[in-house]
Structure 1
């Protein structure tokens, strides 16, 4: 029988959180919010120069250069990080919008980008899964899209890729419950849903736009920090629409 674990509500302070795709605008905001809340942040990316810029913008974080589409490289990284301490969170922010004109406009290049996003989620969550199960408060989160709810021809590749990622996250949620049991559940897999994300750079580049329905990257970052403020049982398998 699983041991009952009482939720302590200690928050993210002192937790060690891995952020994949950390050099994006959403990644930068998330790393900053986590660090401000007292988390130890490990930022992952494939471009050393952009990671150096991130480290200057968010002092105190650790950075790791890794091709997240290479499962062997991710496995090696996960083993090394796990050997040096607990890993309490994985925030996957790899990928962005890809569209095309109708079904014939769904190109192989676009699909390759979408497929890479899913592959990096699969690689990172598999590699860090044992550490997240071992954590007293493991959390995995991705950002999905409202396009999954109402896919269009022009966003067919994008919606299909996001749907695959959401399915994978539901499987992770089932894995956590299977491995830890309902009464001992400490880990949670969560999907955040947005129409699109917006940041200060986008607003500055198009001051005439209002970006209706878009979610500020700071709102996403705050939601990530809040994952450690609720018990796993309330979060595991959740699909949360962000304002």
Structure 2
């Protein structure tokens, strides 16, 4: 069986998890500009409506779904609802997370770890499992998460944060192998690799509000959210066999 090549994001249905963040809003904009249906998912319906307008607006509005992605049953229901509405989902861009850090190694708190584990690991595990079969079945299935280049040189002050991101990266690369086992790595009748799970690594993210608040600051090595969004959209046009399981450095 020969699958068609990835045809870009045009016409794709893509879940943006963590859509009300600056990076989420940028990614929704970029996907829509590329002709995709960007499905905005966040934890709060009010913040979604504030970011993207009334959810019951006329045709052309951003589809919005409030969901606790740390709850696997709720995430499964979300996936079922989206299949019923859109037929299938072609991609998930996971932008849920947050940062907690500082202090000494011994001062790394359980409260910070619980916050980071929930946002960076649990929501990622849930979305990847709930949408795995959709992504594996799509001729351009893509899953992407955002990680940190600081994992290359872990620090005592950021041990909680970096450990959570390392776990999320490992999970995403495991998902990549799972996708390969359904396609190019099948023992019998292997298929061309059509789906990919990818890590996008940044030092830190930057948006226009941060620049406006500190106009004299240089922000060395930071990645603007628009650059992150454009890179996420570009994944849908790239060879899945080349990017699956990859860690792409977006350091500015």
Normalising by structure 2, what TM-score? 0.91
What is the CA deviation profile of residues 5-58 of structure 1, one whole-angstrom value per residue up to 9, with x for unaligned ones?
A: 342x52101000000000000000000000111100111001111100121399
Specify the SS of the correspondent of 2:14. Answer: strand
What is the CA deviation profile of residues 109-138 of structure 1, one whole-angstrom value per residue up to 9, with x for unaligned ones?
A: 211111012100000110011111111110
Structure 2 counterparts to residues 16-31 of structure 1, below 5 A: 16-31=13-28
Structure 2 counterparts to residues 184-203 of structure 1, below 5 A: 184-203=192-211
Structure 2 counterparts to residues 117-156 of structure 1, below 5 A: 117=119, 118-156=121-159
What is the CA deviation profile of residues 118-176 of structure 1, one whole-angstrom value per residue up to 9, with x for unaligned ones?
A: 10000011001111111111000001001211100000001100100110011000000
Q: How many residues align?
A: 240
- Is the counterpart of residue 220 in structure 1 residue 228 in structure 2? yes
Identify which of 166, 172, 177 aligns with 2:175. 172
Specify the SS of the correspondent of 2:131. Answer: helix
Following the alignment from structure 1 to structure 2, what is the Cα–Cα distance between the partners of residues 189 and 236? 5
Give the Å deviation of 1:104: 2.0
Q: Which has the higher helix share?
A: 1
Following the alignment from structure 1 to structure 2, what is the Cα–Cα distance between the partners of residues 108 and 45? 25
The equivalent residue for 2:45 is 48
Structure 2 counterparts to residues 55-66 of structure 1, below 5 A: 55-56=52-53, 60-66=61-67
- Structure 1: state its 5+ residue gaps: none
Following the alignment from structure 1 to structure 2, what is the Cα–Cα distance between the partners of residues 106 and 208? 32
- Structure 2: state its 5+ residue gaps: 186-190
The equivalent residue for 2:76 is 75
Q: 1:105 to 1:209 in 2, by over 3 A?
A: farther
The equivalent residue for 1:107 is 109
- Pick which of 135-144 and 53-62 moved more: 53-62
What is the CA deviation profile of residues 73-106 of structure 1, one whole-angstrom value per residue up to 9, with x for unaligned ones?
A: 0011111212331200000000122112111221
**C-alpha RMSD of matched pairs (Å):** 1.5
Following the alignment from structure 1 to structure 2, what is the Cα–Cα distance between the partners of residues 45 and 228? 23
- Pick which of 208-217 and 19-28 moved more: 208-217
Normalising by structure 1, what TM-score? 0.95
Following the alignment from structure 1 to structure 2, what is the Cα–Cα distance between the partners of residues 200 and 106? 31
* Counterpart contact for 2:4–2:139, Cα < 8 Å: no
The equivalent residue for 2:29 is 32
Q: 1:148 to 1:29 in 2, by over 3 A?
A: same
